[in-house]
Chain A
Amino acid sequence: MTRAKVTAPGLKRRLGWAGLLAWATLGLPGISAADDVNSTGLAVTEDTVKVGILHSITGTMAISETGSVQAEKLAIEQINAQGGVLGRKIEYIQEDGASDWPTFAEKARKLLVNDKVATVFGCWTSASRKAVLPVFEQYNGMLYYPTFYEGLEQSPNVIYTGQEATQQILASIDWVVKEKGAKTFYLLGSDYIWPRTSNKIARKHIEKKGLKVVGEEYYPLGHTQFNSVINKIKLRKPDVIFASVVGGSNVAFYKQLKAAGIDLTKEKPLLLTISVTEDEILGIGGENVEGAYASMKYFQSLDNPNNEAFVKAFKERWGDDIVIGDVTQAAYLGPWLWKAAVEKAGSFDVDKIREVFPGIELKTAPEGYVRIHENHHLWSKARIGQAQKDGQYKVVYETEDLMEPDPFPEGYK
């Protein structure tokens, strides 16, 4: 586990820092006044600071990551318009991970070693994050990771701005049990780590309540034939289909569900998804998912002044017909959280920022108030929305309090 290592790179850095100080007192050239806010040789000048954006522009993941790139750029532009961070304009260097995990690691190393960026916003899939993680730990960089994911990780070099699995799952299952009287569940997902882990957490939670999981099934990524599983669902008649199907498979799944005569608006069975954001609905078509419930922390339709301003700015920058999903919003938080942390620490140094992280809060987030937990995840609310024909969600429930992030839930430690 990575937790034990929190102090090790920090110590090493500080020694390096002492060395640098000694160098500076000797009066060698090349040391500018940027020192007091940057003692680790980051690309920070009197009026600029460089950051990295690392997502897939090409390849299969480009579909998903586009929104995150747009959100991060928007946040950076807005911060610059407000005068930047510690009086410095943010300049971003964008690299393409090309949906290829070693490329992610390679580009992360380039950003940290060659470009000396102060921080990196990026990654989308778990696999890409796992690939860059050793690089960030080795060079003591800081990554802001936007996607909701399976948890089971907590690195001193990553801030997770999306939800870990329990934040998405527990409250939503409680809700369908309490409000909809659900007793039986059918778990269905794409075949990779996130759906499998999520379903394990869900199963545990369901069985703890004395309720029943009547089926659990996985299909390869990109699979487009769901007739068999739909037949099984019809046979076992669960109250809830708990779906974590991703990517292109989504389109096939919902279209075939509808074609097979399962009308989600009738809620028999009810469909609860943790993978379909407004982004995905664009591809699936609103009429095919109408009536499904999604558990997220953010919906574009959230009714609060922060979100109104955010949606307006986003559309002005990237076009009117764009939709904003949960991950896009989480990506938007990255630069703002970084700015808040830098200003609190009074420095761009990663170690100093890490020390001030717990308790960093953002009152102006589109999703509402968020705060960074000691475990580097965000305290945030869980919300349930019901998909509408126009491709938007109608928020039907939100937790009263912020949900505590718990990346290592019971039974996984």
Chain B
Amino acid sequence: MKTTPSASSLMSRENLYFLVLAALLLLVFPVLLDAFRLNLVGKYLTYAFVAVGLVLCWGKGGILSLGQGVFFGLGGYCMAMFLKLEASSPEATASQSTPGIPDFMDWNQVTELPWFWQPFHSFSFTLIAVVMVPVILAFIIGVAMFKRRVGGVYFAIITQAIAAILTILIIGQQGFTGGANGITDLRTLMGWDIRSNEAKTVLYFVTSGLLLACVLLARHVLGSKLGRILVAMRDQEDRVRFSGYDVASFKVFVFCLAAALSGIGGALFTLQVGFMSPSFVGIVPSIEMVIFCAVGGRHSLLGAVYGALLVNAAKTGFSESFPELWLYAMGALFIAVVLAFPNGIAGLYQRYLMPLEKKMLGGLGKAANTRPTAAARRMEETP
């Protein structure tokens, strides 16, 4: 589903796919699934934000970050801090030695709300922080590394180390962060009980809506000149540089964008699950998120959404019936995706289903017939 904006028929095809996804998320799932399953899907969709971000920076930009969990976690923690402060009103925490601060601080003999918690009393600040905190960190990392032309493998390993550092730091600073347990027992958002089934359903629709909006935004970015430079950069970085483009700045931008998407996903995750803990910041979740993206198809925005949904649904299903087999299945999936289907579900769809579809429909213009396959072929050639 590569964006080639010149072909108008292809655009309409892309719009069609987008509408199918929208219908699936906004109509089919809510009608077919009970509240419990719908909430699960809502949780999976928050990972899809990260996967969409990865399509931008990894699939299109060639920057593999193994630290997306960091941004997901930061967004989640920002939201969790706001919710925790709301849950820790002086009345609700009257039995503590210092009322009005989160319970875990009280247990750790922290007697005053630390300065960096203060602004999270404000909801509008929190909303900004959910996006900006990950973006600022991504900007610092990105500028430091891309300006020095660090890329590929080195970038992956360094982002992984950052994930490790942040996890140890959060766990170690228990009095300020809630430690290994994380920030738990979040109840209300501006007085609205987020634990009820109705709230979870509303949150599901909010998540779906935001995700669809983010996909549109990402599509817009890719459809612009920037998107084409990105792909050009991935394939022939030096040529782009010699053409006079500031390669590093483009990379920093797309990395920040991916971080922002992850942060939004993290915040929605906190809202739906009702807690945030350091186990979403570390290395394992970061790599898992890469695999969601790879399974869906690293070049396809919509594929990433399907990838996140399918892998997580499989994880839940498998571990319900055969917990022992789950790791084998997951491991095999990683290997199979890399060895046999490097373009994931989207690639399979383009290669096998699309020709079939065309045969059946037949009437679509010639342009539509040739372009996607050419695009697909091009994708297979470029790693």
Contact = CB atoms under 8 A, between A and B. Distances in A.
Interface of A: 1, 3, 57-58, 95-96, 98, 100-103, 105-106, 109-110, 113-114, 125-127, 130-131, 133-134, 138, 152, 191-193, 196-197, 200, 218, 220-221, 411-413
Given A57-B323, A218-B172, A152 B95 contact: no
A193 B185 CA distance: 16
A203 to B, nearest CB: 11
Contacts of B117: none
Interface string B152-181: 000000000000000010011010000111
B107 A152 contact: yes
Given A98-B319, A105-B275, A192-B181, 7 more contacts: A58-B324, A100-B279, A102-B273, A109-B36, A110-B36, A114-B36, A412-B107
Interface in B271-289: 273-275, 277, 279
30 contacts: A58-B324, A58-B327, A98-B319, A101-B182, A101-B275, A101-B277, A101-B279, A103-B319, A105-B274, A109-B36, A114-B36, A126-B181, A127-B181, A127-B277, A130-B182, A131-B184, A131-B275, A134-B185, A134-B275, A191-B171, A192-B174, A192-B179, A196-B108, A196-B174, A218-B172, A221-B180, A411-B109, A412-B106, A413-B95, A413-B97
Contact of A130 (B168, B185, B196): B185
Nearest to A99: B279
Contacts of A131: 184, 275, 277
B219 interface: no
A196 B104 CA distance: 12
A134 B274 contact: yes
B298 interface: no
B42 to A, nearest CB: 11
A221 B184 CA distance: 21
B319 A96 contact: yes
Nearest to B173: A191
Given A58-B319, A58-B324, A127 B172 contact: no
A307 to B, nearest CB: 31
Nearest to A56: B323
Interface of B: 35-36, 39-40, 43, 93, 95-97, 103-104, 106-109, 168, 171-172, 174, 179-182, 184-187, 195-196, 273-275, 277, 279, 316, 319-320, 323-324, 326-327
B36 A127 contact: no
Nearest to A94: B323
Contacts of B181: 126-127, 130, 192-193
A192 B180 contact: yes
Contacts of A196: 108, 174, 179
Contacts of A106: 40, 43, 316
Contacts, number: 104
Contacts of A95: 320
Contacts of B104: 193
A17 B33 CA distance: 27
Nearest to A96: B323
Contacts of B187: 134
Contacts of B320: 95-96, 110
Given A1-B95, A413-B96, A113 B279 contact: no
A1 B35 CA distance: 28
A326 B277 CA distance: 27
B93 A193 contact: no
A98 B326 contact: yes
A113 B34 CA distance: 11
A218 B173 CA distance: 11
A302 B36 CA distance: 45
A57 B185 contact: no
Nearest to B97: A413
Contacts of A218: 172
A134 B274 CA distance: 8
A133 B96 CA distance: 20
| Among all A-B residue pairs, the 10 with the closest Cβ atoms | A96-B323, A192-B180, A130-B184, A57-B323, A127-B181, A193-B179, A130-B181, A96-B319, A1-B95, A220-B168
Contacts of B186: 134
A110 B316 CA distance: 11
Contacts of B275: 101, 105, 130-131, 134
Contacts of A411: 97, 109
Contacts of B39: 109
B180 A193 contact: yes
Contacts of A133: 184-185
Contact of A127 (B35, B95, B182, B273): B182
Given A134-B195, A192-B171, A220-B168, A57 B182 contact: no
A57 B324 CA distance: 7
A100 to B, nearest CB: 7
A113 B95 CA distance: 32
B269 to A, nearest CB: 8
A213 B324 CA distance: 45
A96 B171 CA distance: 24
B107 A113 contact: no
A127 B279 contact: yes
A349 to B, nearest CB: 22
A63 to B, nearest CB: 14
A192 B173 CA distance: 9
A16 to B, nearest CB: 14
A134 B270 CA distance: 13
B180 A127 contact: yes
A133 B277 CA distance: 14
A7 B350 CA distance: 58
Contacts of A57: 323-324
Contacts of A192: 171, 174, 179-181
Given A1-B103, A138-B195, A192-B180, A58 B326 contact: yes
Given A131-B275, A193-B181, A412-B107, A113 B323 contact: no
A113 B326 contact: no
Contacts of B327: 58
A127 B275 CA distance: 10
